Amino acid sequence: MQALNAWLLGHDHGLLLQGPDPDAPDPVMHGVVVRQSPPPRTPLHRWDPVTVWVEIPDDGGAGVREPRKPLPPHREDVSEQL
């Protein structure tokens, strides 16, 4: 599950999601949850902390670079149509 979705779901159910290092500068909002403690279906009280481990998938960092088709019109072509 995406970390942000897990955090929102935990908040909706009255749980506090935190990373393995609660003092870390980055909140648990990015990446995919790969592990949690306590395990799923463990009875918890309202606002008990749940520690989650998150991995950020390596997408290569390039993004989508495919050309758009059809190509967008040039400015000169648009001004002639007006």
User: Residue 62 — very low, low, confident or very high, per pLDDT cuts 50/70/90?
Assistant: low
pLDDT in tens, 42-59: 999 999 999 999 998 776
Which residues contact residue 16 at a Cβ distance below 8 angstroms, ignoring those fewer than 6 apart? Answer: 10, 47, 48, 49, 50
**Fold entry, domain 1-57:** Trypsin Inhibitor V; Chain A (3.30.10)
SS3 18: strand
Q: Please compute the mean of the pLDDT values over residues 58-70 and round it to a whole number.
A: 65
- Residue 5 pLDDT more than 90? yes
Give the residue extent of every domain in the chain.
1-57
